[in-house]
Structure 1
Amino acid sequence: MSAPDDPPVLLLTRPAEASRRFAAALGAGLPAGVRVIVSPLLEIEAVGGHITPEQSVILTSQNAVARLASGAGLSAWCVGPRTAAAAERAGLEVRAVAPTAEALLAQIVAAGETGPLLHLRGDKLAFPLAERLNQAGIETHEQVVYRQRPQPLTPEAGAVLTTTDRVVVPLFSPESARHFLAESQGASARLEIVAISEAVARICSDAGMKAVSIAASPDGEAMTSAVLRQLATPMPG
């Protein structure tokens, strides 16, 4: 049995490349002795071929940018700085960057946009952005260009959940939260969830998770700070 002051385990469940970037962002801030395990719970899979839209696009994930055949001559409304940076690299003109889909909705409406717009998205929808824009009188279509395929925990991740170790788990979406909860049923480890939003936290709390904290804002920088804070907080014995 681990002692209360033993270094925790950090379990990263985003797709492999995103998990590596997040681990790099934590960098030197990681407390000594923290063991990092990468176990992607969702794999990104393209849907259909590359596309060439004829109208301005809405990009709520950088995964959608990769499905564009070309961004030349297109403008984009983006969620998150990484998505915006990917859009610019693809040749798109970025009209605005918002931290969340809800905030982007407000920006598009405030800008007086009339459309048509095309939301390139994944198969899982956390916020009905196209629907809300249409309700606001802005013609908006949507197209699923990638899907998220659930993956089982790796043997290493599964094994650590059978211990009594502290395991800090950042969760970045409702879908990953639901899948982690399914994969971690019966875990004996002392799980500490760091949620990117109240919606993610609510899913975990409703499932009986006791140690759930929420990032100050729904973005990578706030999640980095929240995870480092959680890792540095001793757990009562």
Structure 2
Amino acid sequence: MSAVKPVIILTRPAAQNARFAQAVAASGIEARIIEAPVTRIVPEPRTSNLEPAATAIFTSSYGVEHAPGGTGIAWCVGDRTAEVAATKGWQARSAGGDADALFKRICADLAGVEAQDTLVHYCGKETRGDLSERLSNVGISTQRSVVYRQEKQALSEDVHQVILGSNKAIFPVFSPNSAQRLVQQLPAGTKVDFVAISQATAQTLPTEMVRNVAVAKTPDAQSLIEALRLMV
């Protein structure tokens, strides 16, 4: 391990930062951890009046939290999102991966099913790719319901100074959109280390800002922590 203690800077919304910081600490990784959200989750005002869908799609735990509860099937992008959906009464099915894995899981589960309820994708205003359109294009009626929005938060000057003063600043990045929000705020001329949850996320990082990049073997927090362990 390097003699210089690495600095892991977490830039997800506050609740996710806190949960991931605990997981990193529990893993035994020795590093300074700074929580510096660049995104704030804000519910859409009308969400309290929404009727629950018969069947739902969730691509983040925030979609679950800001959507009505339900008792029908809910297809979820990963295990964490499925766990949250189950607590709200849904019959949660995890795709265990990313949006492409979720698309394939839904198509496989509904193959040969003739009578289908319209699926409702509860999501944020900012999404990557249109899952509802992809599903509708293959004959699975799906509509999008925006239940929250992502507002940008600025990195503090203190965090900028940490980045500029450390030769071992590491940023875990969990989605292409959040990676883009982060790099827009990094100081000019910065080169830092990234640990990306997927190749799609890694590919959004501008090469001029990348000193090193590692990619998790599977798109989940535990795999990302293992990639982070190799980086430190």
**TM above 0.5, one fold?**
yes
SS of 2:203's partner is helix
Q: Kindly state the Cα deviation for residue 187 of structure 1 after the two structures are TM-superposed.
A: 5.2
Match of 1:136 in 2: 138
Residue 46 of structure 1 pairs with residue 43 of structure 2: yes
Question: How big is the shift at 1:17?
Answer: 1.2
Runs of 4+ residues over 6 Å off in structure 1:
none
Q: Give the letter aligned to residue 102 of structure 2.
A: L
SS at match of 1:153: coil
SS in 2 for 1:99: coil
Q: CA deviation at 1:94?
A: 1.6
The correspondence for 1:100, drawn from 95, 98, 101, is 98
Partner of 1:109: 107
For the residue of structure 1 that corresponds to 2:150, the secondary structure is strand
Q: Counterpart amino acid of 1:213?
A: A
**Corresponding residue of 2:67:** 68
CA deviations 1:132-157 (Å, max 9, x no partner) are 11111100001111111111013331
Q: Distance in 1 between matches of 2:66 and 2:26?
A: 34
Q: Indicate if the aligned counterparts of 1:46 and 1:145 stay in contact, CA closer than 8 A.
A: yes
Distance (Å, rounded) in 1 between the aligned partners of 2:18 and 2:9: 12
Determine whether 1:58 maps to 2:60: no
CA contact under 8 A between 1:161 and 1:187: conserved in structure 2? Answer: no
Find the residue that maps to 1:77 and give its secondary structure: strand
Equivalent position amino acid for 1:108 in 2: I
RMSD: 1.8
Per-residue displacement from partner, 1:166-188 (whole Å, max 9, x unpaired)?
A: 10110111122112111113255
Mapped partners of 1:224, 1:210: distance in 2? 19
CA contact (8 A) 1:26 1:228 kept: no
Task: List alignment gaps of at least 5 residues for structure 2.
Answer: none
Aligned position for 1:200: 201
Letter of the 2:43 counterpart: A
Partner of 1:35: 32
| Percent identity between the two aligned chains | 32
Matched residue, 2:192: 191
**CA shift in 2, pair 1:31/1:68, >3 Å:** closer
How many positions carry a matched residue from both structures?
225
Secondary structure of 1:141's counterpart equals strand
With over 3 angstroms needed to count, the CA separation of the structure-2 counterparts of 1:103 and 1:115, relative to structure 1, is farther
Query: Does residue 1:219 correspond to 2:220, yes or no?
Result: yes
TM-score normalised per structure 2: 0.89
Q: Is 1:152 aligned to residue 154 of structure 2?
A: yes
Structure 1 residue 18 corresponds to structure 2 residue 21: no
Secondary structure class of the residue paired with 1:183: coil
Which residue is 1:86 aligned to? Answer: 84
Equivalent residue of 1:6, what SS? coil
Partner of 2:230: 229
Q: Where do 5+ consecutive residues of structure 1 fail to align?
A: 232-237
Change (3 A) 1:35 1:88: same
